[in-house]
Amino acid sequence: MDEAKAALERGEFDEAFRLSEEAQTEGPDDPAARELYAVIHLARAIRLSDRAREARRQDLLRREIDFDEEFQDGPEVARAYDDAAAAIDDVLRVAPDHWKARMLKAALVFRRDRESGRPQALEILQALAAADPTNKQIPFTIRKIERPCVRCSDTGFCPHCKGRGQRRLLRMDRKCERCYGRGICPACGVL
């Protein structure tokens, strides 16, 4: 376990990932090994979640889909979301009460499909709120999911660049200043 922490401090994420898995396998009941595993795997899940969002943005650009147009994710976008969900489920398998992993799962479910994901995301968040009523972030997130966003018409995409992360001005593409080139709604898309 100390080797995994040392690898993490050196910036060797893959090595820390492998060592945390070994530590968890050797001592599944060790709370320190379980926590290290959860932290390292949660970081991976966050990275995969961000990649899924970026894959969708790139797919929108490639397919030239407007932000308010109904669309189905392409196979690579769906796979990216599946990979992120699997990584979150892996954390929850080891640490089922890990509130950050549960928050990330709610956000990913909602981000993947706002219409069908809203009830499941709210269910996860309401269970979290019941378990920890002092956590102020949970009710804030619940309110953001319950109320459709008026800025982006509840698409989750930046209304200024239409989810592309860039704006065309004088035939030149420039990074959108409102969403910092990420293509997500500044009001609600961070979920």
What would the pLDDT profile of 10-39 be if each residue is shown by its tens digit? Answer: 888 888 888 888 888 888 888 988 999 999
- The predicted structure's pLDDT at residue 132: 94
Prediction pTM value: 0.84
For residue 119, what are its two tokens? Answer: 């009830």
Whether 191 has a pLDDT exceeding 60, the answer reads no
Q: Would you kindly state where each structural domain of the chain is located, as residue ranges?
A: 2-147
Q: Are 176 and 158 in contact (CB under 8 A)?
A: yes
- Residue 9 CA, chain-centre distance (Å), reads 24
Predicted confidence (pLDDT) at residue 173 exceeds the cutoff of 80? yes
Position 67 scores a pLDDT of 63
- Spatial distance between the Cα atoms of 147 and 141, rounded to a whole number of angstroms: 10
**Alpha-carbon dihedral 140, 144, 146, 147, rounded to 10 degrees:** 130
pLDDT band at 63 (very low <50, low <70, confident <90, very high): confident
The DSSP string of 43-112 is: HHHHHHHHHHHHHHHHHHHHHT--TTS-----HHHHHHHHHHHHHHHHHHHH-TT-HHHHHHHHHHHHHH
The neighbour count for residue 7, using CB atoms within 10 Å, is 19
Q: Identify the pLDDT of residue 13.
A: 85
* Residue 139: pLDDT band with limits 50, 70, 90: very high
The percent of residues in the chain predicted with pLDDT above 90, rounded, is 45
Q: How confident is the model at residue 42 (pLDDT cuts 50, 70, 90)?
A: very high
Is the pLDDT assigned to residue 190 strictly greater than 70?
no
2-147: what fold? 1.25.40
Residue among 47, 144, 42 at smallest CA distance from 98 = 42
